[in-house]
Protein backbone atom coordinates (compact mmCIF):
# COMPACT_ATOMS: atom_id res chain seq x y z
CA UNK A 1 0.00 0.00 0.00
CA UNK A 2 2.84 2.39 0.79
CA UNK A 3 4.44 1.70 -2.61
CA UNK A 4 1.15 2.48 -4.37
CA UNK A 5 0.69 5.69 -2.39
CA UNK A 6 4.24 6.84 -3.11
CA UNK A 7 3.80 6.38 -6.86
CA UNK A 8 1.59 9.46 -6.96
CA UNK A 9 3.76 11.72 -4.80
CA UNK A 10 4.72 15.05 -6.36
CA UNK A 11 8.40 15.51 -7.01
CA UNK A 12 8.71 18.12 -4.31
CA UNK A 13 10.34 18.18 -0.90
CA UNK A 14 8.72 19.93 2.04
CA UNK A 15 5.03 19.27 1.38
CA UNK A 16 2.30 20.98 3.40
CA UNK A 17 -0.36 18.57 2.23
CA UNK A 18 -0.79 15.48 0.17
CA UNK A 19 -3.77 14.05 -1.63
CA UNK A 20 -6.33 14.99 -4.24
CA UNK A 21 -6.75 18.73 -4.50
CA UNK A 22 -3.75 19.46 -2.30
CA UNK A 23 -0.84 21.26 -3.87
CA UNK A 24 2.71 21.50 -2.56
CA UNK A 25 3.10 24.89 -0.97
CA UNK A 26 6.86 25.02 -0.68
CA UNK A 27 9.89 23.58 -2.33
CA UNK A 28 12.87 22.97 -0.11
CA UNK A 29 16.23 21.95 -1.45
CA UNK A 30 17.69 19.41 0.92
CA UNK A 31 21.49 19.46 1.13
CA UNK A 32 23.05 16.18 0.05
CA UNK A 33 23.37 13.84 3.02
CA UNK A 34 20.77 15.62 5.16
CA UNK A 35 17.31 14.42 6.26
CA UNK A 36 14.12 16.49 6.59
CA UNK A 37 10.93 15.04 8.14
CA UNK A 38 7.42 15.95 6.97
CA UNK A 39 4.02 14.67 7.98
CA UNK A 40 2.95 11.68 5.90
CA UNK A 41 -0.56 13.02 5.29
CA UNK A 42 -2.44 10.41 3.23
CA UNK A 43 0.33 7.78 3.33
CA UNK A 44 -0.08 4.79 5.65
CA UNK A 45 2.59 6.03 8.08
CA UNK A 46 3.05 9.05 10.38
CA UNK A 47 6.18 10.64 8.94
CA UNK A 48 8.18 10.76 5.72
CA UNK A 49 11.89 11.42 5.98
CA UNK A 50 13.19 13.08 2.81
CA UNK A 51 16.88 12.75 2.03
CA UNK A 52 19.13 13.71 -0.85
CA UNK A 53 21.67 10.99 -1.48
CA UNK A 54 24.85 11.44 -3.50
CA UNK A 55 25.03 11.02 -7.26
CA UNK A 56 27.46 8.35 -8.50
CA UNK A 57 30.04 8.63 -9.84
CA UNK A 58 30.65 11.82 -7.94
CA UNK A 59 33.93 13.49 -7.00
CA UNK A 60 34.98 10.11 -5.66
CA UNK A 61 33.14 6.94 -4.79
CA UNK A 62 34.73 7.03 -1.32
CA UNK A 63 33.32 10.49 -0.58
CA UNK A 64 29.95 9.54 -2.08
CA UNK A 65 29.87 6.39 0.09
CA UNK A 66 30.46 8.51 3.21
CA UNK A 67 27.63 10.86 2.22
CA UNK A 68 25.36 7.87 1.57
CA UNK A 69 26.17 6.56 5.05
CA UNK A 70 25.33 10.00 6.45
CA UNK A 71 21.83 9.82 4.89
CA UNK A 72 21.06 6.57 6.71
CA UNK A 73 22.79 7.72 9.93
CA UNK A 74 20.84 10.99 10.06
CA UNK A 75 17.54 9.20 9.44
CA UNK A 76 18.18 6.69 12.23
CA UNK A 77 19.30 9.44 14.59
CA UNK A 78 16.26 11.58 13.80
CA UNK A 79 14.01 8.57 14.26
CA UNK A 80 15.32 8.08 17.79
CA UNK A 81 15.14 11.80 18.63
CA UNK A 82 11.50 11.83 17.51
CA UNK A 83 10.71 8.77 19.64
CA UNK A 84 9.84 6.54 16.68
CA UNK A 85 10.45 2.79 16.83
CA UNK A 86 10.37 1.77 13.17
CA UNK A 87 11.55 3.02 9.82
CA UNK A 88 11.44 1.79 6.23
CA UNK A 89 14.18 2.70 3.78
CA UNK A 90 14.47 2.49 0.02
CA UNK A 91 17.88 1.87 -1.54
CA UNK A 92 19.02 5.50 -1.19
CA UNK A 93 20.93 6.78 -4.26
CA UNK A 94 20.31 3.59 -6.25
CA UNK A 95 18.45 3.95 -9.51
CA UNK A 96 18.87 7.29 -11.27
CA UNK A 97 21.68 8.33 -8.87
CA UNK A 98 23.60 5.22 -10.02
CA UNK A 99 24.93 3.99 -6.68
CA UNK A 100 26.24 0.45 -7.16
CA UNK A 101 23.71 -1.82 -5.45
CA UNK A 102 26.44 -3.72 -3.56
CA UNK A 103 27.73 -0.45 -2.07
CA UNK A 104 24.23 0.74 -1.22
CA UNK A 105 23.36 -2.55 0.52
CA UNK A 106 26.68 -2.80 2.34
CA UNK A 107 26.51 0.79 3.58
CA UNK A 108 22.92 0.58 4.83
CA UNK A 109 23.06 -2.91 6.33
CA UNK A 110 26.41 -2.44 8.10
CA UNK A 111 25.21 0.81 9.66
CA UNK A 112 21.96 -0.78 10.88
CA UNK A 113 23.84 -3.82 12.26
CA UNK A 114 26.23 -1.54 14.18
CA UNK A 115 23.48 0.78 15.47
CA UNK A 116 23.55 0.87 19.30
CA UNK A 117 19.75 0.69 19.74
CA UNK A 118 18.92 -2.91 18.90
CA UNK A 119 15.17 -2.52 19.53
CA UNK A 120 14.56 -0.51 16.36
CA UNK A 121 12.46 -2.07 13.61
CA UNK A 122 14.27 -1.28 10.35
CA UNK A 123 12.96 -2.46 6.97
CA UNK A 124 14.26 -2.04 3.45
CA UNK A 125 11.90 -1.90 0.48
CA UNK A 126 13.41 -2.83 -2.87
CA UNK A 127 12.25 -3.41 -6.43
CA UNK A 128 12.17 -7.20 -6.76
CA UNK A 129 12.29 -7.22 -10.58
CA UNK A 130 16.02 -6.56 -10.66
CA UNK A 131 18.72 -8.60 -8.92
CA UNK A 132 18.54 -6.03 -6.08
CA UNK A 133 16.78 -8.28 -3.59
CA UNK A 134 19.31 -11.09 -4.03
CA UNK A 135 22.19 -8.64 -3.53
CA UNK A 136 20.65 -7.30 -0.30
CA UNK A 137 19.86 -10.81 0.98
CA UNK A 138 23.40 -11.99 0.26
CA UNK A 139 24.89 -8.91 1.94
CA UNK A 140 22.60 -9.27 4.98
CA UNK A 141 23.55 -12.94 5.27
CA UNK A 142 27.20 -11.91 5.67
CA UNK A 143 26.44 -9.53 8.54
CA UNK A 144 25.98 -11.12 11.95
CA UNK A 145 22.79 -10.16 13.77
CA UNK A 146 20.65 -9.31 10.73
CA UNK A 147 17.50 -11.26 9.97
CA UNK A 148 16.54 -11.71 6.33
CA UNK A 149 12.84 -12.16 5.65
Residues of the chain with pLDDT under 70: 1-28, 58-59, 128-130, 145, 147-149
Nearest to 69 by CA among 98, 108, 36: 108
Beta carbons of 42 and 57 less than 8 angstroms apart: no
| Per-residue model confidence as pLDDT tens digits over 94-134 | 888 888 889 999 999 999 999 988 788 888 888 766 678 88
**Residue 121's beta-bridge partner residues?**
86
Beta carbons of 37 and 63 less than 8 angstroms apart: no
pLDDT of residue 124: 87
pLDDT of residue 70: 95
Please list the helix, strand and coil fractions of the chain in percent, rounded to the nearest 5, in that order: 35, 10, 50
Amino acid sequence: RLKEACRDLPLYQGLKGLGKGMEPTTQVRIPTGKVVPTLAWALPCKWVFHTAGPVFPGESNRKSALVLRECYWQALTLMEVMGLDSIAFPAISAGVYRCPMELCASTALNLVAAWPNTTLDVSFYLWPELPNLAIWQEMAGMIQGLEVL
